[in-house]
Amino acid sequence: MNVKLESKEDYRQWMHQVLDPLKPLYSKGGARLHLGDSGVTYPKTSIEMEAFSRPLWALVPYWLGGGSGFEEIYQKGLLHGTDPEHPEYWGGFGDYDQKFVEMAAIACSLIFTPQITWEPLGEKGRANLADWLYGINEHIIPDCNWQFFMILVNVALKKRGCRYSRECLDKGLSKIESYYIGEGWYRDGGSSQKDYYISFALHYYGLVYAKAMREEDPDRCQRFLERAVLFARDFIYWFDENGAALPFGRSLSYRFGEAAFWSAYLFAGLDDIPVGVVKGLISRHLNWWLDQKMFDRDGVLTIGYSYPNLIMAERYNAPGSPYWGMKTLLCLGLADDHPFWSEKAEPLPRLSDIKMLKQADMLMHRHGNDVVAYPAGVCEKYGHGHVPEKYSKFAYSTRFGFSVARSQIVLHENAPDSALAFVIDGDDYVFVRKYSDSYEVLEDKVISTWQPFPGIKVTTTIIPKEEGHLRIHEIESQYDCRAYDCGFSVEKFTEGYEQNSEGEEAVVFHKKQGCKVRGKGPGASGIVIEADPNTNVLYPNASIPAVCYRVKKEERVCLETMVTSFLWN
């Protein structure tokens, strides 16, 4: 359902389409927002406080840019949520408290729109809010992008003339500096994986800081700006010409938050990439999301990606979590005469077909209207759920997505698209690449060594080709087993759907796109895996073409699989 996204009013209407359905759902006191009953790792109070806070990521720039609406709800909510004597009080804190995350949006409101969320609260209300926010300085927060929550809270308190912690502010900023790894990229604290937290968290907050503190801290602000310019030249490769962004990594339920960096880029005054190009990227992205099934019947965002899907969710995805995506509307804070509102939305510039993103540990491949990433399999051994599926597949695609496992037992439940899946003889447990023991990302290939199971060692080389990519696997196994080299998931139950497997080849396609795999190696035989429903993040039903190989105990085996993808629309 594409809409015109040209003027400031167009973008405001887009925001209202997403946020207006929430209006009747706020609590009587305004401080709570109940959007669903699925569980997460934090209690109901935090769940409902999160849902209250996250719309502020759009409302603050909306108010800053001259918009009107929601003010009374948030004035009332901030008064009551921070008043220990009110029944809707959000409560105190523990270490690693989820409420610290949600403080950041409130802090931004105090920095940029104090006339709405600070001054009207009265002396007692302001004191309660300031005291409540200060609590972030008295507890442990994770050594990661969370440091920016503490930073922004202290910036807000400082700017409003309240008690703040200079020590915590300086300590947090020092940690952010320690995360920088060069060429525009950060690591997220101790994490080795590179995902959207680099764009919609570390860079986003850095650019907000640069906007807020350019007079008080000019040198640091300039560093944040310079790093964002470098990062943008890589990050633009994660978006395709249709507006879709690469589905990769965790927190994909934040959906259109994938483009939040680009709004922050404009908000901070950057224009190394022309304003018209950035406008085209943001507008196509927001429209792409309107074409997905991301709302429930009442217009409330659901947990999932292209459709409601709890299977792929993380343990911290509460019903209000998806409103993190409202960060992408930071552009609403641009002045009425900013070129963003008058410039024409331009297409993406000519980008290289193959691009090595060294700091991201991946090779990017622009293949027609598809964007494919070949990551090296760098991720944490344990994480928030479905880590191997979100980081360690051989390929991730804007057009084919990726699948998450319903279970590790039998192929159709595991749905191992873009993976080499091992099943040891006499068992039905499925083993795939969880992470790489060693890897090398080169200009034209990605090489990794990994173990799906102790006693099975694999060296995989991924080579982009004009029509897809070639996989070469060198395998040493202490077990007799079958190895299934799987292509992309392809949507089924759609117009023109067909599948076929014959000899060493399997193909699945429909009217718009398809995938074929062809193998070379011992016992190579094409098959089609009918994946369980709701495993692929883009469509609820999919089939996976694959080649099955025989791997014999104590024999060194070399397999070659060509994965070809087709796009007709």
Report the pLDDT value the prediction gives residue 569, as an integer from 0 to 100: 74
Provide CATH 1.50.10.10 ranges for the chain.
8-338
**Residue count (the chain):** 569
pLDDT tens, 51-62?
A: 999 999 999 999
If you count DSSP H runs as helices and E runs as strands, how many of each does the chain have, helices first? 17, 19
Report the pLDDT value the prediction gives residue 1, as an integer from 0 to 100: 61
Backbone angles phi, psi at 211, to 5 degrees: -70, -40
Extract the tokens encoding 507: 């193909």
H helix intervals, 343-417: 387-391, 411-414
What is the rounded distance in angstroms from the CA atom of residue 246 to the CA atom of residue 255?
11
pLDDT mean for each 10 residues of the chain (569 residues): 86 98 98 96 97 98 97 98 98 97 98 98 98 98 97 98 98 98 95 95 98 98 98 98 97 98 98 98 98 97 98 96 98 98 96 97 94 95 88 98 97 98 96 97 98 98 97 98 98 97 97 97 98 98 98 96 93
Task: Break the chain down into helix, strand, coil percent, rounded to 5.
Answer: 35, 20, 40
Neighbours of 66 (CB within 10 A): 12
Q: Taking Cα atoms as reference points, which of 519, 527, 528 lies closest to residue 564?
A: 519
Neighbours of 557 (CB within 10 A): 18
Largest distance between two CA atoms of the chain:
78
Write down the residue that tokens 């085209």 correspond to: 280
Extract the tokens encoding 3: 């809409």
CATH (residue range 8-338): 1.50.10.10
What is the rounded distance in angstroms from the CA atom of residue 124 to the CA atom of residue 106?
17
Report the pLDDT value the prediction gives residue 152, as an integer from 0 to 100: 98
DSSP class of residue 321 equals: G
H helix intervals, 180-274: 196-197, 204-212, 218-235, 260-267
pTM above 0.95, yes or no: yes
Q: Is residue 296 classed exposed, middle or buried when 0-12, 13-18 and 19+ CB atoms within 10 A define those classes? A: middle
**Through-space distance between the first and last CA atoms of the chain, rounded to whole angstroms:** 17
What is the rounded distance in angstroms from the CA atom of residue 211 to the CA atom of residue 220?
11
Neighbours of 306 (CB within 10 A): 21
Q: Taking Cα atoms as reference points, which of 342, 337, 270, 327 lies closest to residue 61?
A: 327
What is the rounded distance in angstroms from the CA atom of residue 403 to the CA atom of residue 393?
9
Domain 354-567 has what CATH class?
A: mainly beta
What is the rounded distance in angstroms from the CA atom of residue 375 to the CA atom of residue 402?
13
DSSP class of residue 528 equals: E
DSSP β-ladder status, 438-441 and 420-424: unpaired
DSSP β-ladder status, 370-375 and 396-397: antiparallel
Question: Per DSSP, which regions of 378-467 are E strands?
Answer: 396-397, 420-424, 438-441, 446-453, 456-465
194-210 burial: b if 16+ Cβ within 10 Å, else e = bbbbbbbbbbbbbbbbb
Q: Are 235 and 197 in contact (CB under 8 A)?
A: no
